Amino acid sequence: MFLIRKLIRLLAILINWLAIIWIILCCYASTKDPAGAATLWSLWSFTTFFALITNAFFLVFWLFTKKKWRILYSFLALVFTHNTWEPILAWNYFGSNKTKTTEKGIKILSWNVHLFDLGEWTEDETSKAKIIQYLEKEQPDILVLQEYYWDTKANSLPYTEIIQQLGYPYVALASESKMHKSTMNIRAEKGEIIDVGLAIFSKFPIEQEKVFNLSHNNYKLLYTEISIDETHSIDLATVHLTSTGIKSKDIEYIDEVKSKYTAAIEKSPLKRIIKSLIYASAERSALANDIDSLKIHFENPLIICGDFNDIPSSYSYRKIKGNMGDAFISKGVGLGRTFDKIFPTLRIDYILYDKENLKAEGFYKEDIGLSDHYPISANFSFKK
């Protein structure tokens, strides 16, 4: 019996040290720039949450043993790696969380609208109208949309003019690609071309706008200088970084494996998924480096929001964020999932802000199934 207890204790110590190495590797991966060479290191960041949970388990486990000092193993590891795992969770269960539009503050809503369900992925014929109704209900001061589209021949159609009539006279658009509308919707007219990209709608005057070309493919950063009142202006930028490259059939495959709890994983789709994740991560890192280098051009308090397609423990997030605040960390709660596929830990949409000049007053995420992303909104006030 003594031998068995000793073996169990040694096994627990071994697993604990493996968990410590695990979270340290996650920390290293979050600081390693994969832009120059796509490697498997990019995937370590996706496991950070699970490494955190494993180490947290051992913090509790050792408390129920005679040698409670062993909690120092994981405790010190978590302290050392806190910059990596802290952005995963938000603990603002108490205190004020102002999420309504006010006269004194600024409310910003950011949302990847997934082409307004142009491909009818939700199988809801009323989804397009519901998106407009939701925007009208929320009434943010500034509305920032990714995967927004408009007709090439008339950018007021089909949604720009409608949204402007909701009270947003000022608009800035940045096209990232053109496509035949019929590739998404078979009812589209023959030869109808649409622009797909970024949009900023504002109740406040847009004094200046500029589109910055990023280094990979057709990715853009849409920048606007927005005048809030006679004494305050902000610089607002939005981006939509490289997607994971995982196709819908890959997501269906992952869901099937999860539902059946089987170890019989086919090599071909798994290999394709891993390869897509690695190369997409490398491209996002390069784009993140570009975005970080552009910050010197902005003179007013800066807000960067959009779909980063990467998690909070990734290199891309850390590079773009830099010394900025994260509205979710400041005022959100829990995991803050913003992508409704694959895993419940995927927070990939962000509102980052200049914490030296702006104060986050509130944060809110709406779990609605009108897109593959959830809309997020944040309220800010100017610091004196």
The answer to whether residues 240 and 147 touch, using CB atoms and an 8 Å cutoff, is: yes
The answer to whether residues 108 and 380 touch, using CB atoms and an 8 Å cutoff, is: yes
Domain-embedded: residue 95: no
152 and 31 within one domain: no
Domain end (from 88, 114, 142): 88
316 lies in which domain range? 106-382
Bridge partner residues of 148 (DSSP) = 197
The owner of tokens 């980063």 is 308
Q: What pLDDT, on the 0 to 100 scale, is given for residue 34?
A: 85
Q: What pLDDT, on the 0 to 100 scale, is given for residue 345?
A: 77
Q: What pLDDT, on the 0 to 100 scale, is given for residue 6?
A: 81
| Type of residue numbered 121 | W
Number of domains in the chain: 2
Domain-embedded: residue 94: no
d(CA 285, CA 317): 9
Q: Is this prediction's pTM over 0.85?
A: yes
111 and 9 within one domain: no
Query: Tens of pLDDT along the chain (384 residues)?
Result: 667 778 888 999 999 999 999 999 999 999 988 887 777 777 888 899 999 999 999 999 999 888 899 999 999 999 999 999 999 999 998 888 888 887 778 999 999 999 999 988 888 889 999 999 999 999 999 999 999 999 998 889 999 999 999 999 999 999 999 999 888 887 888 888 999 999 999 999 999 999 999 987 789 999 999 999 999 999 999 999 988 655 444 444 334 444 544 444 455 566 777 777 888 888 999 999 999 999 998 999 999 999 999 999 999 999 999 999 999 999 999 999 998 876 777 899 999 999 999 999 999 999 998 999 999 999 999 987
Residue 93 DSSP SS3: coil
Instruction: Report the run of H or E that residue 174 belongs to, with start and end.
Output: strand 170-180
134 and 44 within one domain: no
Q: What pLDDT, on the 0 to 100 scale, is given for residue 269?
A: 67
Domain with residue 329: its CATH number is 3.60.10.10
φ, ψ for residue 114, nearest 5 deg: 50, 50
- Of 109, 356, 50, 147, whose CA–CA distance to 236 is shortest? 109
Q: What pLDDT, on the 0 to 100 scale, is given for residue 250?
A: 40
152 and 42 within one domain: no
